[in-house]
Amino acid sequence: MTLTATSPAARRTVGSRADDVRRALSAVMDPELDEPITDLGFVRSVAIDEAAVEVHLRLPTSFCSPNFAYLMASDSKDVLTALPWTRRVVVQLDDHHDSDKINAGLAADAGYRGTFGHEAERDLEELRETFRRKAHTAAMERCLTAWLRAEPDRPLDALGQVVLDDLPRDAQTDALLRRREALGLPLAGTSAVLVDHLGARPDDVPMALRRARSTRISIDGNAHFCRGLLRTRYPGSEDDQVHRSEGAEPADASYDPTFIPLTALTKEHSR
């Protein structure tokens, strides 16, 4: 991510305001990958000129879902507009097949349906809710799988009796609590961990865990795949990516986020 300040006044305060911008953008999540766009490297540049901010976003491909692309761009504009010192906020999505449409809609504050018209098949809030549920399922599976690894002699069915107080106070549990709060699920220590988005316990614990694991693996796999695609498309973007620790398996402990271009491997092989 590049940061520029275009006036002397902006340069005097660019440090603190740049921190404000980054903190604000770190609250914007990729809805499918369940990660901040700042960690994924999707923030291409930030320009600050006194009370004006212009942000450019980039995505792993030109054909990433327009719904997701709009959601991230719109959320970025919202969080930056909410900063107390901003008076003008411009968010631009670069190099996407719907960039012109999305950027025009953002500039006009047209909203999701106003931007896409008849192409907006689903309400934006409905889309958000779908991914809130998936994020909760993945976070729940991570916590329960960690609990099983710590208690290997426990039967699988015992997962149905695990409550929040049984979990360690660590980053995975904190992530689960945030996802539960977003869905309106209870946060009391005696609350069951293995529940659906409505708070209902499953009748078949092993099947529920398998389904949750499938959701988590899909999210984690897509996250690693998209990070690699971004590094391929925008060389140097790996410098803006934060290693994904949440959801990593033990085998990922030695994962090196540094991208090695395929051309380099081809050249090495041909020698």
CA 223 to CA 218: how far, in whole Å? Answer: 8
Is residue 271 included in any domain, yes or no?
Answer: no
| Residue 266: per-residue pLDDT | 47
- Verify that 103 and 139 share a domain, yes or no: no
| Residue 193: per-residue pLDDT | 98
**By three-state DSSP, how is residue 59 classified?**
coil
| Residue 259: per-residue pLDDT | 42
pLDDT in tens, 25-58: 999 999 999 899 999 999 999 999 989 999 999 9
Cα Rg of the chain (Å, integer)? 21
Pairing relationship of beta strands 29-30 and 35-36 according to DSSP bridges:
antiparallel
Q: How many Cβ atoms from other residues are within 10 Å of residue 15's Cβ?
A: 11
- Verify that 8 and 99 share a domain, yes or no: yes
Is residue 270 included in any domain, yes or no?
Answer: no
| Residue 78: per-residue pLDDT | 97
CATH of the domain at 22: 3.30.300.130
pTM here? Answer: 0.81
State yes or no: pLDDT of 181 exceeds 60.
yes
Our count of domains for the chain comes to: 2
| Whether the Cβ atoms of residue 209 and residue 141 lie closer than 8 Å to each other | yes
Q: What separation in angstroms does the CA of 10 have from each of 6, 14, 41, 77? A: 7, 5, 24, 20
Which helix (H) or strand (E) is 222 found in, with range?
helix 205-233
Q: What percent of the chain has pLDDT over 90?
A: 73
87: containing domain: 2-121
State yes or no: pLDDT of 60 exceeds 60.
yes
Strands (DSSP E) contained in the chain are 2-5, 29-30, 35-36, 43-49, 52-57, 88-93
State yes or no: pLDDT of 10 exceeds 80.
no
CA 41 to CA 119: how far, in whole Å? Answer: 28
Last residue of a domain, one of 121, 154, 172: 121
- Verify that 68 and 133 share a domain, yes or no: no
For 110, residues 6+ apart whose C-beta sits below 8 A from its C-beta are: 104
State yes or no: pLDDT of 87 exceeds 60.
yes
Six-digit token pair at 5? 């300040």
Q: pLDDT higher for 68 or 6?
A: 68
- Verify that 65 and 117 share a domain, yes or no: yes
Q: How many helices (H) and strands (E) would you count in the chain?
A: 9, 6
Looking at residues 162-187, what average pLDDT do you find?
96
pLDDT in tens, 186-226: 999 999 999 999 999 999 999 999 999 999 999 999 999 99
State yes or no: pLDDT of 92 exceeds 70.
yes
Burial class (CB in 10 A: 0-12, 13-18, 19+), 177: middle
pLDDT in tens, 128-166: 899 999 999 999 999 999 999 998 888 999 999 999 999
CA 223 to CA 10: how far, in whole Å? Answer: 35
- Verify that 115 and 222 share a domain, yes or no: no
- Verify that 112 and 166 share a domain, yes or no: no
Q: What percent of the chain has pLDDT over 70?
A: 84
CA 151 to CA 147: how far, in whole Å? Answer: 6
